[in-house]
Amino acid sequence: MPSLPSSSVADPTPPDFSGLWVALVTPFRADGAVDHAALAALARRLAAAPIAGFVVCGSTGEAAALDEPEQDAVLATVAEAAPGVRRIMGVSGHHLGRTAARLGSLAGAGLAGVLLPAPVYIRPSQAGLLDWFGQLADRSPAPVLIYDIPYRTGSTLARETLLALAAHPRIAGIKDCGGDADKTRALIADGRLQVLAGEDANIFATVAEGGAGAIAASAHVHTARLARVIALLRDDRLAEARALWQPLLPLMEALFAEPNPGPMKALLAARGEMAAVLRAPMTAASEALCARLQALDAAVDAAG
């Protein structure tokens, strides 16, 4: 495996990505345009909860269905609506030069970080993945969080690759959707990457094992409760955290019973916050699931 490219830019103080990050949806109007009014209202509501920040234009935000000007406008709306809340921007691609240029275009955006997945469709070797992330981290205007999500990208980042990438001064953490508990524990034990759970149902286990927090789509609802679960776990108050967590889990699992973010948008639409509109090829949640989500949402409220 080749050595990691060296970076000419290093952060004197490692950034802190601990806590709960909300993986924001992108609301659309009935005509398919971005609903900036609904997005701003959503950001303001969520900003009132004890969150670490927002992840904008990730997979939950349907970034693949947004062109770059639309993505920039979404980021600007969130920044204006919640100026005191930190923002991580999703950046993806499969052309190294264009992806690096996209990172460069975000230099003045005041980002806390960027979320970078492996290049989709190509399925490079581990050496290729090491080079991909190393070169992009060298050019990134903000600290990098690796987005390890093999079921979307087609590439699995090996433990050894991630541990090598942890040596890069601009790579600060990982959104862990890899589905490998042993790898997750190894990264936590190594201690150089801040491990953020990316699969919502794994939040409790990851943070209880020593992970830094989570990037969660389900955090659009019962946000303060989920943030409290993470805070309690990081304080080693396991029983209190479990009591708050268990009522959340049935709703959390239902929110991923159909492709994300359809169920989340359906629940937010039922709450009157936006239309349940997605861009093709994504589809709205089924009526049966919508009814189930509303019942489970009410059950969390009833649990206190």
Residue 223, marked binder: no
What lies within 8 Å, CB to CB, of 149 at 6+ separation is 59, 117, 175, 177, 178, 198
Helix 223-234 with 238-245: angle, nearest 10 deg: 160
Q: Confirm or deny that 215 is annotated as ligand binding.
A: yes
* Residue 121 annotated in active site: no
Are 235 and 227 in contact by the 8 Å Cβ rule? The answer is no
- Is 183 noted as a catalytic residue in this protein? no
Q: Which of 151, 175, 183, 265 is catalytic?
A: 175
Distance of CA 99 to the CA centre of its chain: 19
* Catalytic-labelled residue, pool 121, 147, 151, 265: 147
Instruction: Specify binding-site residues for pyruvate.
Output: 60, 215
Which residues are tagged catalytic? 147, 175
